[in-house]
Amino acid sequence: MAKRDLISIDDLSAADVDLLLDTAESFLPVLQRDIKKVPTLRGRTVINMFFESSTRTSTSFDLAAKRLSADTIGIKAKGSAVDKGESLKDTIITLSAYSPDIIVIRHPRAGACQLASANTKASIINAGDGKHQHPSQCLLDLFTLRQAFGRNLKGLKVAIVGDILHSRVARSDIAGFQLLGMEVTVIAPPTMMPREVESLGVKAEYDLADLHKADVIYLLRIQQERISQGANFLPSLREYATVWGVTRSRLRPGQKVMHPGPINRGVEISAAVADDPDTLIARQVEAGLAVRMAILYRTIVGGSDSDTKEAL
Amino acid sequence: MTRRLWSAPARGADLLIQGARVVDPLAGLDTILDVLVRKGRIHLVGTDLEAPAACRVIDADGWLLLPGFVDLHAHLRTPGREDEEDLASGTRAAAAGGYVAVFGMANTDPEVDTAPLVEALALRALSEAVVPVGFFAAVTRGQRGEELTEMWELAQAGAVGFSDDGRPLNSAHLTRRALQYAKVTDRFVAVHAEDESLTRGGVMHEGAVSAKLGLGGMPPVAESIEVDRALELAAYEEGRLHLCHLSTAASLEHLERAKKAGVHVTAEVTPHHLTLTDECVRGLDPNYKMNPPLRPEADRKALSQALRSGLIDCLATDHAPHAQQEKEVPFEDAPFGTLGLETAFAAAHQTLVASGALKLPVLVERMSQSPARIAGIALPTVQAGEEANLCLVDPRETWTVTAAQLHSKAKNSAWLGTKMKARVKLTVAAGSVAWEDGAR
């Protein structure tokens, strides 16, 4: 049987996504218990390789594996053989000698997961590769949306606002939101809009004039490096905040705000919006754990079997 | 008299090739004929030729006999990266692809920027090269884009032309001076047209596929802007310009205008830009990463039409070997380039000739006589009295490109795993049998 990888949201069908989200939901009660651990993946090994800094993704994958009783190993570029110039291929081959079931990879370069997958029997889960994909983020976003809007997300209008060009979250979310029938508009300064972005099936806008039409406003982090050293994507963060920053006055009641974090208060999101309990930002973080448990579980157990309850 | 090609001493072949379809646009041939080669020269071309005593006879029924191919653009990695390719392996690869002459680019380590380096390469070729090989010299010292090389001496040493290929000449001033000064050498300046300020951080064509993959884009205007500038300078200075590996429809519009105005310019296109598109990159296989990048179908079509019309003069491989460990990295980290010598004819034949986009004699002319004319070497042709420079091709044989069978030291072919139709069976270069694939 071919191993299961999760490299791109495009690897999944709508039914696959439903199963993953249902599985995640069934894990929620576990996380409320005093003893937040099930024996489901006892004896299994999950390696978390993070070649790029990460807080929520790395901790939630690690914790998710531990909640399922898997053995986990965390590897960072710094302090590992990668620091000594070992190639990704050799690192993967070396780690594969320990027969892990899953290798979770975050890497600054697109193509890292394909290379890893070709060199190991372990399943590869992409925890973010360059500006390409971040499928677990998309799944936890969908999970959060289902909690807020119900199971059927068809027809829901989402505006993704920010640096679309450099965002793996945007690329995963566009594909995943569309998979479940949502309508996606992307809003960005022209310098941060990918050329031919309409080929992704989205509407593209350069300002917030039509922001009120969206049910959900998904904000992306503006990175400091985009305004440094003659990159010329933006003249200043101040101007970005003025033109594209989301403030209370730009929101209508009932609109839900999401953000993958970490947020820049006062840039893409005003402090007042960030602190508003009505946003879904904290819910996204919470969803991360259950969804990543579901990803690990389904990667190993697979299938559309209805044995999740037994597993608990 | 300066020589431009060097190879190991000839072992004059004696062959009678019977019943091949001889396709030679220069000789005006497209008919079934016998060809007798004696002591490395074409002795007779005719029908029902008799084999002299002890002369090997090859039954070429159903095969094509073509004038051998000439590659104006190969990276032979010598000196400096002989782990990736040397003159022996590179010319073996060329021979297996039906080539009878191949020209190495100057972006080696060190760069070919002084006459003694050309002379040293020529010496090595005399003992290693199974197919005649020639060399480009750099336009600027160390290819740093600052000071011109001693072009006159380099030409005396036998350099075929001047190029900083691998890098563009990113200053109009430098392009102008190179075009001016090269006139004293009767050689051309070959330009890799790319505005690097527009391609910085780019790893593939900028368009729908790069939008989907989140990869840095190389916009087509980065090429056409530089093509236009080089053409204007060539027109102004009446210099001789050769445009390397054109990849966009917009470049072709500039080229067409310049040619109509009488600018002394020639141009090449690679087999990969003629047969593959940026859709190939979706799987993030580093073997599809090249510079210029694979473009969309509309550009590919325009290139194919331009090759047919002669707007583009020739096919050139941009054969670019890379060590396995350098290509076995994430797509974004990989160096640019694909192998090309061993697959060029088969790829072009099955994509362009089999589909009817290009007639076989036109492809032959663009791969053989046209590039030879640009290089200023004798034109390969199947005519009595000429040195034998030819190849035999079985147009029906199917084969799959595998790393194991490639003769290049490197294995980074964009066609790995591709099923090819048409296989080079025998190559005679400078009168010697340079390649033979299980003769029947």
What string of pLDDT tens digits covers the 312 residues of chain A?
578 999 999 999 999 999 999 999 999 999 999 999 999 999 999 999 999 988 889 999 999 999 999 999 998 877 777 777 889 999 999 999 999 999 999 999 999 999 999 999 999 999 999 999 999 999 999 999 999 999 999 999 999 999 999 999 999 999 999 999 999 999 999 999 999 999 999 999 999 999 999 999 999 999 877 777 778 899 999 999 999 999 999 999 999 999 999 999 999 999 999 999 999 999 999 999 999 999 999 999 986 545 555 555
Consecutive H or E run containing B251: helix B249-260
What confidence score (pLDDT) does residue B182 get?
97
Q: Is there a contact between A111 and B212 if contact means CB atoms under 8 Å apart?
A: no
Instruction: State the burial class of residue B367 (Cβ atoms within 10 Å of its Cβ: 0-12, 13-18, 19+).
Output: buried
Q: Which residues contact A68 (CB under 8 A, 6 or more apart)?
A: A37, A38, A40, A41, A44, A293, A296, A297
Label the pairing between strands A203-205 and B265-269: unpaired
Cα B113 to its chain centre, rounded Å, is: 21
pLDDT exceeds cutoff 60 at B35? yes
Structure-token pair, residue B285: 């296989």
What confidence score (pLDDT) does residue A228 get?
72
What confidence score (pLDDT) does residue A76 get?
85
pTM higher than 0.90, yes or no? yes
Query: What CATH fold (topology level) applies to the domain B68-375?
Result: TIM Barrel (3.20.20)
Cα B29 to its chain centre, rounded Å, is: 24
Mean pLDDT of B124-142: 97
Q: Which residues contact B91 (CB under 8 A, 6 or more apart)?
A: B7, B102, B128, B129, B130, B131, B133, B434
Residues of A near B (Cβ–Cβ under 8 Å) read 87-89, 107, 109-112, 114-115, 129-133, 166-168, 171, 194-197, 199-200
Q: Which residues of A are catalytic?
A: 56-57, 84, 106, 134
- Residue B2: pLDDT band (50, 70, 90) is low
What confidence score (pLDDT) does residue B252 get?
98
Phi-psi bin for B87: left (phi > 0), alpha (psi -120 to 50), beta? alpha
Domain boundaries, chain A: 9-134+288-311, 135-284
Mean pLDDT of B160-166: 96
What confidence score (pLDDT) does residue A3 get?
83
How far apart are the C-alpha atoms of A263 and A240, rounded to whole Å? 14
Selection from B433, B434, B431, B405 nearest residue B418 by Cα: B405
- Residue B143: pLDDT band (50, 70, 90) is very high
What confidence score (pLDDT) does residue B439 get?
44
Chain A residues near residue B213 by CB distance under 8 angstroms:
110, 132, 171
CATH of domain A9-134+288-311: 3.40.50.1370
How far apart are the C-alpha atoms of A222 and A225, rounded to whole Å? 9
How far apart are the C-alpha atoms of A155 and A215, rounded to whole Å? 10
Nearest to A195 among B207, B329, B334 (CB): B207
How far apart are the C-alpha atoms of A128 and A107, rounded to whole Å? 6
What confidence score (pLDDT) does residue A311 get?
53
Identify any residues that bridge with B141 across adjacent strands, giving them in sequence order: none
Whole-Å CA distances, A192 to A43, A232, A269: 45, 10, 17
Q: Is there a contact between A200 and B210 if contact means CB atoms under 8 Å apart?
A: no
Identify any residues that bridge with B42 across adjacent strands, giving them in sequence order: B37
**What percent of chain B clears pLDDT 90, i.e. is strictly above it?**
97
Q: Is there a contact between B219 and A195 if contact means CB atoms under 8 Å apart?
A: yes
- Residue B61: pLDDT band (50, 70, 90) is very high
Instruction: State the burial class of residue A18 (Cβ atoms within 10 Å of its Cβ: 0-12, 13-18, 19+).
Output: middle
Which one of A10, A137, A169, A195 would you mutate to disrupt binding with B, by most B Cβ within 10 Å of its Cβ?
A195
Whole-Å CA distances, B183 to B177, B178, B188, B237: 10, 9, 8, 10
Three-class SS of residue B218?
strand
Chain A residues near residue B214 by CB distance under 8 angstroms:
110, 130-133, 166-168, 171
How far apart are the C-alpha atoms of B248 and B349, rounded to whole Å? 21
What confidence score (pLDDT) does residue A312 get?
54
What confidence score (pLDDT) does residue A85 get?
81
Instruction: State the burial class of residue B418 (Cβ atoms within 10 Å of its Cβ: 0-12, 13-18, 19+).
Output: middle
pLDDT exceeds cutoff 80 at B388? yes
Chain A residues near residue B206 by CB distance under 8 angstroms:
195
Which one of A86, A105, A115, A167 would you mutate to disrupt binding with B, by most B Cβ within 10 Å of its Cβ?
A115
Whole-Å CA distances, B175 to A159, A211, B160, B219, B309: 48, 50, 18, 22, 28
Residue of A nearest to B213 (CA): A132
What confidence score (pLDDT) does residue A84 get?
77
- Residue B440: pLDDT band (50, 70, 90) is very low
Residue whose structure tokens are 């004319």: B373
How far apart are the C-alpha atoms of A309 and B252, rounded to whole Å? 64
Parts of chain B belonging to CATH 3.20.20.140: 68-375
Parts of chain B belonging to CATH 2.30.40.10: 15-65+385-436
Consecutive H or E run containing A271: helix A271-275
Residue of B nearest to A107 (CA): B330
Label the pairing between strands A102-107 and B188-191: unpaired
Which one of B221, B282, B326, B332 would you mutate to disrupt binding with A, by most A Cβ within 10 Å of its Cβ?
B332
Q: Is there a contact between A195 and B325 if contact means CB atoms under 8 Å apart?
A: no
Q: Per-residue pLDDT tens for B302-354?
A: 999 999 999 999 999 999 999 999 999 999 999 999 999 999 999 999 999 99
Q: Is there a contact between B211 and A199 if contact means CB atoms under 8 Å apart?
A: yes
Q: Is there a contact between A112 and B208 if contact means CB atoms under 8 Å apart?
A: no
Q: Judge: domain B15-65+385-436, CATH 2.40.50.100.
A: no
The sign one gets for the Cα dihedral B33, B34, B36, B40 is positive
Three-class SS of residue A14?
helix
- Number of CB pairs < 8 Å for A and B? 76
How far apart are the C-alpha atoms of A223 and A165, rounded to whole Å? 12
Architecture field, domain A135-284 = 3-Layer(aba) Sandwich (3.40)
Whole-Å CA distances, B262 to A30, B139, B166, B259: 79, 24, 28, 5
Contact by Cβ (8 Å): A46, A67? no
